[in-house]
Each structure stands twice: as structure tokens, then as C-alpha cells.
Amino acid sequence: QKEVEQNSGPLSVPEGAIASLNCTYSDRGSQSFFWYRQYSGKSPELIMFIYSNGDKEDGRFTAQLNKASQYVSLLIRDSQPSDSATYLCAVSGGGADGLTFGKGTHLIIQP
């Protein structure tokens, strides 16, 4: 059974600070890793994906992957109140049954 674990939060971060969201996964064969953002009452939207060990940066977002530790993280620099949402970590092993999602971390950016 594939598992993706996230701290449900809420994680409270002051505006302008760095928000750090963490995720661990159980399947060592996992190949692709994704972060989605979901606002209350809306559907998830893709923020970033990462396939290789190391860091991947896109604007204020940085995804970090460590396959040896089975650990994925998302850093949000210069956090804004509009970043307040639930962030879902998702992992793929390449099968047709899609991604395995974590339960999500609720992030609150305090003005």
C-alpha cells in the first residue's frame, strides 16, 4: 500500500517569511513527485513537479527531492496571504491508477 504522509497543520507563517512544507512517501519505486495547491471549495491546481534529486525552482516556489530519505518538500519564499491554502503532495509510481495524494497541509499566511 503506497502512502504519502503530510503534517495536516495548520502551519502558520508570517507574511514575507519562508513557508516550508514537508512530505514523506513509502514506495521507493516512486518516480514523479508533485505539489498541488487547493483553495477552500476549489479543485487542486498543479504548482510544481520534480523527478530528480535536488532542488527545482519556479518563481517563489522551490521543490526539493531526496529519494534516499523518501522526502519531498516545498518552500515558498516571500509568503503572501494569497498563499493561504491546503498544499497536497502527490507521488507517482508510473502506474495507470494515477497519483497517490497525501492528506494535505493547511497553510495560513498571517498579514
Q: What residue ranges bind another protein (CB under 8 A)?
A: 31-32, 34, 41-46, 49, 88, 90, 92, 94, 96-99, 101-104
d(CA 40, CA 53) in angstroms, rounded, equals: 31
Yes or no: say if 83 and 109 are a contact pair by the CB < 8 Å rule.
yes
- Closest CB to another protein among residues 72, 104: 104
- Closest CB to another protein among residues 77, 103: 103
- Closest CB to another protein among residues 54, 98: 98
In angstroms, what is the minimal distance from the CB of 36 to another protein? 8
- Closest CB to another protein among residues 6, 62: 6
Q: Residue holding cell 505539489?
A: 35
In angstroms, what is the minimal distance from the CB of 50 to another protein? 11
In angstroms, what is the minimal distance from the CB of 18 to another protein? 26
Comparing CA positions, the residue from 61, 56, 49 lying closest to residue 90 is 49
d(CA 48, CA 45) in angstroms, rounded, equals: 9
The number of angstroms, rounded, from the C-alpha of 23 to the middle of its chain's C-alpha atoms is 7
